[in-house]
């Protein structure tokens, strides 16, 4: 499964990209606002750091506006993925941009029916928000499982990009189901490395090695 970072923080992206584990980036208007930077400059800089897909979201809510903004964002770099909301106009814009070979990430998906429509519109990615569903007592991972089954039934090429990830277990569950991508906050990627038994084992190994008085170099 691919791992995307859900952030617009250049420093975080630069640091974690060095691990070789970052396959792409997702941003949204809230993350851009949090960065305090210009959206065009920010996306351009991110695309220069990460070679994988970089989602940049439109702010227009009508078809014509989405098409204009989508075209502008796609001009920034070849790895830009235009992010569109799962609305009637968003799906219409998705179909049009996809016909022009522009990658599209359809976001704010909360139902299997919505995901089916996004695939039929030619979306490159569908972004179901599992955490927000869990927050209201629904089962976010059940949605991922249902989408995966339908996409497999009809051989849709749309990739399932699990969003609104709340913790490491969401990533593991998504991988077990067979989701294509999980987009995660940087802190969750850091948490994925951690386990107390790993820390204890390493401390024991180093203590034993120090007692030998040896050096590899």
Candidate list 18, 34, 83, 142, residue with the active-site label: 83
Q: What is d(CA 74, CA 72) in angstroms, rounded to the nearest whole number?
A: 5
Instruction: Return the CATH number of the domain spanning residue range 2-212.
Output: 3.20.20.70
Query: 166-202, pLDDT tens digit by residue?
Result: 999 999 999 999 999 999 999 999 999 999 999 999 9
Q: What ranges do the domains of the chain cover? A: 2-212
Query: 60-119, pLDDT tens digit by residue?
Result: 999 999 999 999 999 999 999 999 999 999 999 999 999 999 999 999 999 999 999 999
Q: How many residues does the chain have?
A: 217
83 noted as active-site residue: yes
Contact 179, 166 (CB under 8 A): no
Question: What's the pLDDT at 21?
Answer: 97
What per-residue string of b and e applies to 18-44 under the rule 16 or more CB within 10 Å gives b?
Answer: eeeebbbbbbbeebbeeeeeebeebbb
Q: What is d(CA 107, CA 104) in angstroms, rounded to the nearest whole number?
A: 9
Q: What is d(CA 5, CA 164) in angstroms, rounded to the nearest whole number?
A: 11
């Amino acid at each position: 499964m691919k791992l995307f970072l859900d952030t617009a923080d250049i420093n975080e992206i630069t640091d974690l990209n060095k691990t070789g584990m970052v396959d792409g980036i997702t941003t949204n208007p809230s993350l851009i606002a949090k960065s305090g930077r210009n959206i065009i400059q920010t996306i351009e800089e991110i695309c220069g750091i990460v070679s994988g897909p970089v989602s940049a979201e439109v702010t227009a809510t009508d078809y014509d506006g989405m098409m204009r903004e989508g075209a502008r964002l796609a001009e920034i770099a070849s790895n830009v993925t235009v992010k569109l909301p799962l609305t009637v106009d968003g799906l219409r814009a998705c179909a049009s941009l996809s016909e022009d070979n522009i990658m599209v990430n359809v976001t704010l998906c909360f139902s299997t029916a919505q995901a089916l429509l996004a695939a039929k519109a030619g979306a490159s990615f569908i972004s179901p928000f599992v955490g927000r569903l869990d927050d209201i007592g629904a089962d976010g991972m059940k949605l991922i499982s249902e989408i995966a089954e339908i996409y497999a039934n009809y051989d849709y090429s749309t990739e399932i990009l699990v969003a609104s990830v709340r913790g490491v277990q969401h990533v593991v569950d998504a991988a077990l189901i067979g989701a294509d991508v999980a987009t995660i906050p940087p802190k969750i990627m850091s948490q994925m490395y951690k386990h107390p038994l790993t820390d204890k084992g390493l401390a024991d190994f180093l203590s034993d090695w120090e007692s030998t008085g040896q050096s590899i170099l």
